[in-house]
Amino acid sequence: MAAAVDPRLRQLKIKTGIVKRLAKEKTMYEKEVVDQGKKVENMIAENQDEHDIKKQKEVLEESRIMIPDCKRRLKTAYQDLSNLAAECEKDLSDKEDYIQAKQMLEQTVLED
């Protein structure tokens, strides 16, 4: 019979995925704010319908509001993964899930 798999490996994999998803989500919202801002500027410059401009500004504001929330959730998930990785370092440092978790921690940029 195969040896039992350490349940911490599964947790490392899950928490790594969460950090990856939240980092991607934050980047997406930041890009959307830039793109949507340009769209609103263009609509204003072209004297488009005021109602349409107002709606696009609302979309822009919704994206802006999501960024701090994403940063907060990313920071929490990053801390969870970091704590788990530190806990597992002695026993699991040669395992693929641990290595991927450490790489994700190194790649992830946290902002205040």
pLDDT, tens digit (0-9, with 9 covering 90-100), for 2-33: 446 788 999 999 999 999 999 999 999 999 99
The Cα 21–Cα 89 span in angstroms is 23
The Cα 24–Cα 46 span in angstroms is 33
**pLDDT one-digit tens code per residue, 74-84:** 999 999 999 99
CB-based contacts of 74, cutoff 8 Å, min separation 6? 19, 22, 23, 26, 108, 110
Residue 2's pLDDT is what?
43
Which domains occur in the chain, in start order? 12-106 (1.20.58.90)
CB-based contacts of 30, cutoff 8 Å, min separation 6? 67
Mean pLDDT for 60-89 is 95
CB-based contacts of 40, cutoff 8 Å, min separation 6? 53, 56, 57, 60
